[in-house]
């Protein structure tokens, strides 16, 4: 059993040498830098959405194949890039146990977890899993989303810092947020909230 930051290279899912590349010779910033914001996340989703499905699938698999430190983030993008064909949300990638996930976080209320959508902002709620055995290869998860999902035809709004902070504050006032049962009775772990806030406050 081991704890793995899924944005980092993990087990057999990252196969080829060299960093992730795009057809323009540069990968979205989400896959190049450790720190990211809700703006760089939206820009990464829009990069793929703007290509159309066929080209995007090739590019998703190219990024998934690269030995980049943050190639695992491709699953975050897929959680927003694809909508379910039916009423049930697309499943999460099978990476392991999410030990930081609070009780009461159902797929009905949080259908894109670990990505959470609030207003015009998307932010990543959790970035690590405890691995048991072998995590699902990134290619397999991309293929699952292709088969079970519908490719996004519209671009995401790229939030400003001010708007993203408003969206976060609005989320924390919803009944779905208040219903969560945290391991710490006082509320979310401070470092968890800090990570979420950084995704807004880092927007320039």
What is the C-alpha to C-alpha distance for residues 77 and 67, in angstroms, rounded to an integer? 18
CB neighbours (10 Å) of residue 50?
11
Q: Would you say residue 77 has pLDDT above 50?
A: yes
**pLDDT per residue over 123-164, tens digit each?**
888 766 666 678 888 999 999 999 999 999 999 999 999 999
Rounded to the nearest 5 degrees, what angle is found at the Cα of 126, between the Cα atoms of 4 and 187?
Answer: 125
Q: Which residue has the higher pLDDT, 49 or 128?
A: 49
Average pLDDT, the chain: 79
Q: Would you say residue 92 has pLDDT above 70?
A: yes
Banded pLDDT at 71 (limits 50, 70, 90): confident
- The secondary structure of 165-178, three-state, reads HHHHHHHCCCHHHH
Question: Terminus-to-terminus CA distance in the chain, angstroms?
Answer: 39
Rounded to the nearest 5 degrees, what angle is found at the Cα of 163, between the Cα atoms of 184 and 129?
Answer: 40
What is the C-alpha to C-alpha distance for residues 46 and 109, in angstroms, rounded to an integer? 24
What pLDDT does 20 receive?
39
């Amino acid at each position: 059993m081991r704890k793995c930051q899924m944005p980092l290279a993990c087990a057999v899912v990252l196969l080829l040498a060299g960093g992730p590349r795009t057809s323009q010779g540069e990968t979205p910033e989400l896959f190049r830098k450790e720190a990211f914001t809700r703006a760089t996340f939206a820009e990464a989703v829009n990069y793929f959405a703007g290509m159309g499905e066929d080209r995007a699938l090739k590019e998703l698999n190219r990024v998934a194949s690269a030995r980049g430190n943050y190639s695992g983030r491709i699953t975050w993008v897929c959680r927003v890039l694809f909508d379910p064909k039916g009423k049930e949300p697309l499943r999460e990638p099978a990476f392991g146990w999410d030990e930081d996930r609070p009780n009461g976080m159902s797929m009905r209320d949080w259908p894109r977890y670990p990505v959470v959508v609030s207003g015009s902002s998307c932010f990543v709620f959790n970035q690590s899993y405890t691995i048991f055995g072998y995590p699902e290869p990134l290619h397999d998860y991309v293929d699952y989303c292709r088969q079970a999902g519908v490719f996004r035809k519209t671009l995401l709004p790229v939030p400003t810092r001010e708007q993203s902070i408003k969206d976060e504050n609005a989320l924390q006032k919803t009944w779905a947020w208040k219903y969560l049962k945290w391991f710490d009775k006082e509320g979310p772990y401070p470092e968890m909230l800090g990570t979420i806030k950084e995704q807004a406050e880092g927007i320039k």
